[in-house]
Amino acid sequence: MTALLVLEQLLNGLQLGVMLFLLAAGLTLVFGIMDMINLAHGSLYMVGAFVAATVAEYTGSFMLGLLAALPAAALVGMAVELIALRTLYERNHLDQVLATFGLILFFNELVRIVWGPRAIFMDVPEALSGTVEIVPGAPYPAFRLAIIAAGIAVALFLYFLITRTRIGMLIRAGASNREMVGALGVDVKLLFTLVFGLGAALAGLAGAMAGPLFAVEVGMGEGVLILTFVVIVIGGIGSVRGALVGALLVGLVDTLGRAFLPTLLRLVVEPATADGVGASLSSMSIYLLMVAVLVWRPRGLFPAHG
Amino acid sequence: MSRKISLAVAATAVIGLLAAPAQAEGVKIGMITTLSGGGSGLGIDIRDGFELALKQGGGKLGGVDVEVITQDDARKPETAKQIADRMVKSDKVDIMTGIVWSNLAMAVVPGVTKAGVFYVSPNAGPSALAGKMCNENYFNVAWQNDNLHEAMGQHVTDKGFKNVYILAPNYPAGSDALAGFKRFYKGKIAGEVYTKLGQKDYAAEISALRAAKPDAVFFFLPGGMGINFLKQYAQSGLKESIPLFGPAFSFDETILKPAGDAALGVFNSSQWNADIDNAANRAFVADFIAEYGRRPSLYASQGYDAARLIGSALKAVGGDMSDKSAFRLALTKAEFESVRGNFRFGSNHHPIQDIYVRQVYRDDKGDLTNKIVGKVFTDHQDAYAKDCVM
């Protein structure tokens, strides 16, 4: 285990964290502002990946696929908000969980009808298919670096949007006191739809960026959704800053756990036991992190509500 | 009074109607397989392969009328168990088949065979069912789970690799896979890693793998996990320097298309391939493509062989399922032309067969598929047969 390997694994963790941030930012806004638990957020990620893969396949251009995925996911998201979710804001969380779980089933079936039950192909764009030797002796996939760059760009964009613009002010106000914003005459319905569309577009972006790395298949959003919920709980519900910090923490803890726990355990127990226990422990590591954070700060690192 | 009588007559008539079809039908086969959710590609292929044999026989298997009841288990053991109970108790099926996953097979098969129903496995072959828990009514027409991994262990040793990095998901079939590999691999293990089941990102594992400097990598990651790993491994630039080896499960037709060039050139072990040259296989491959418009996978070949094995036994007993020992004996003989050629059952009702090494290549139509490049085992039998007492 060398310092260079640790450095490389830190980079891997950062990349996973950035990917999670793209999903968590949208989810935390919706959860924080509308007090709405949206389990179907992962479905929008799936829609983004499928649209990007299909457009990239037909046009031969990854960029066009990416550009198509953003509005497609945003439109699907806003349509879902208008048709289904709007009626759920007044209901309790359990109803919302049930209804949006139903949406997951609906979207999985819809994608199966449109694209079939099998995974579909999506490759890295030619220009980013190589590797870059950031850490000496360990060529790093260029596409993963591009994901990190895209994530940083989105974080900066959101920072600007939320702290410097009028709509950002309303989002912040909505997250800390919904009723007051409505009472002050803001068109809350429109704000909700826009925020939902923004969250959906970010999920679509994450899906399109994930396509070349992962299998583009029905149900691909569910596993990542669980991680995303862990992120927003750690970060504090409703806080984009919390989502960023939470995502990076989860990405780093998960990656470093997988990379080094078995090796560290080998120092104290038998190799066979170390591999088994290490694998199990590392898949628990992010949940242990969540428990630790919640014990220390029960409302997450950066709670949005006052 | 007369009203009561007419009611009774009507009721009898209705009951008669309900009961009538059951008597008129032939042999009943219950198929439980995964048709929705993750991994449904495998179940769909098994079902389609099975139904192809039925269509070729004009709705009959071995010249005997059969009724196939197909149900989706959605890859959930409890669902599979409920369907199996219903099929055994209400539908009164004679034979069952279809299950893809070992954990589902473990939940279903012991109860089914105990109830006197035959079970022909077209895929799952957990070690317990081949060994201590074997049953006279249980037949596996595919393989015992370890077989393809054992073949890869042998092949990698034959090719002179001495320091292999091995990788599998952290669940029973994963540890069985690595155990099977190590049973025949004679060199050093550069690293042994268990990943999370369903894991998507393998960046950490690939970095650690590169640092361990192995001369080859053996991995067992079925379904979407395999697609993820293949893509990420190719992107890391390691594919050219450290060759990949795996069982056929990560290189079937459902994976090659989405994985694309990331899978090109990789070696994998299989008991079947489309280019095995025998009459049964030629007819199977041609008819499958004509019927479904896609290439058959090894799962489809196993579903097809399951149907043809059942057909051969039904023919031997003339469709009479009342004498179970006669039907059982007919199954044991396996008098059908398997699409993989050489095939017979061992004492534990698991295959004794040849296992090949295939390589992924791009055919003249531009599609990725496998070709056989060598044979690793001839008449290979699983390691658990000795533990089976029937």
pLDDT score at A40: 92
Which band of pLDDT confidence, cut at 50, 70 and 90, is reported for residue A262? confident
Residue recorded with tokens 């690595």: B178
CA B58 vs CA A10, B52, B61, B285: distances in Å:
61, 10, 8, 18
- Amino acid A144 reads R
pLDDT of B11-40, one tens digit each? 545 454 444 444 346 899 999 999 877 678
**CATH code for position B39:** 3.40.50.2300
| Domain annotation covers residue B1 | no
Cβ neighbours for A240, distance < 8 A, ≥ 6 positions apart: A25, A28, A29, A158, A159, A162
Residue recorded with tokens 């990076």: A248
pLDDT score at A154: 94
What average pLDDT score do residues B205-228 get? 91
B366 and B266 co-located in one domain: yes
Q: How far apart are CA A302 and CA A1, in angstroms?
A: 35
Greater pLDDT, B1 or A54: A54
B175 and B63 co-located in one domain: no
pLDDT score at B224: 82
Q: Which residue out of B200, B210, B227, B255 would a mutagenesis test of the A interface target, given it has the greatest number of A Cβ atoms within 10 Å?
A: B200
| Domain annotation covers residue A242 | yes
Cβ-defined contact of B41 to A118 (cutoff 8 Å): yes
pLDDT score at A276: 76
Residue recorded with tokens 């060759």: B243
| Domain annotation covers residue B365 | yes
- Amino acid A135 reads V
| Domain annotation covers residue B390 | no
Q: How far apart are CA A127 and CA A117, in angstroms?
A: 30
B238 and B361 co-located in one domain: yes
Q: CB of A265 within 8 A of CB of A259?
A: no
B313 and B381 co-located in one domain: no
| Domain annotation covers residue A259 | yes
Q: How many domains does chain A have?
A: 1
What is the percent of chain A with per-residue pLDDT over 90, rounded to a whole number?
54
Q: Which of B170, B195, B258 sits opposite A119 (nearest CB)?
A: B258
| Domain annotation covers residue A140 | no
Rg of the Cα atoms in chain A: 20
Mapped onto helix, strand or coil, the DSSP state of residue A138 is strand
Cβ-defined contact of B227 to A214 (cutoff 8 Å): yes
pLDDT of B233-245, one tens digit each? 999 989 989 999 9
Query: And the tokens for A199?
Result: 């969250």
Q: Which residue out of A283, A284, A287 would a mutagenesis test of the B interface target, given it has the greatest number of B Cβ atoms within 10 Å?
A: A283
B308 and B381 co-located in one domain: no
Q: How far apart are CA B227 and CA A211, in angstroms?
A: 11
| Domain annotation covers residue A205 | yes
B368 and B337 co-located in one domain: no
Q: How far apart are CA B249 and CA B148, in angstroms?
A: 9
Q: How far apart are CA B33 and CA B100, in angstroms?
A: 6
| Domain annotation covers residue A59 | yes
Cβ-defined contact of B204 to A139 (cutoff 8 Å): no
Cβ neighbours for A119, distance < 8 A, ≥ 6 positions apart: A215, A216, A217, B41, B224, B227, B254, B255, B257, B258
| Domain annotation covers residue A164 | yes
| Domain annotation covers residue B9 | no
| Domain annotation covers residue A304 | no
Cβ-defined contact of A214 to B195 (cutoff 8 Å): no
Q: How far apart are CA B39 and CA B325, in angstroms?
A: 35
| Domain annotation covers residue B67 | yes
- Amino acid B76 reads K
B377 and B228 co-located in one domain: yes
Range of the domain at A57: 3-133+154-296
pLDDT of A150-159, one tens digit each? 999 999 999 9
Range of the domain at B49: 20-143+276-349
| Domain annotation covers residue B226 | yes
Cβ neighbours for B328, distance < 8 A, ≥ 6 positions apart: B118, B136, B137
| Domain annotation covers residue B231 | yes
- Amino acid B272 reads W
Orientation angle between helical segments A142-164 and A240-266, nearest 10 degrees:
150
* Residue B110 DSSP class: H
B240 and B311 co-located in one domain: no
The candidate with the shortest Cα–Cα distance to B131, out of B122, B123, B141, B140, is B140
H or E stretch including A286?
helix A271-296
Question: For residue B36, which residues of chain A lie inside 8 Å, CB to CB?
Answer: 112, 117
- ∠ CA A184-A189-A192 to the nearest 5 degrees? 105
Q: CB of A282 within 8 A of CB of A255?
A: no
Residue recorded with tokens 């696929």: A65
Q: How many domains does chain B have?
A: 2
Q: Which residue out of A120, A148, A275, A280 would a mutagenesis test of the B interface target, given it has the greatest number of B Cβ atoms within 10 Å?
A: A275
B168 and B250 co-located in one domain: yes
Question: For residue B37, which residues of chain A lie inside 8 Å, CB to CB?
Answer: 108, 218-219
pLDDT of B47-77, one tens digit each? 999 999 999 999 999 999 999 999 999 889 9
What ipTM is given for this predicted complex? 0.86
| Domain annotation covers residue A50 | yes
B43 and B117 co-located in one domain: yes
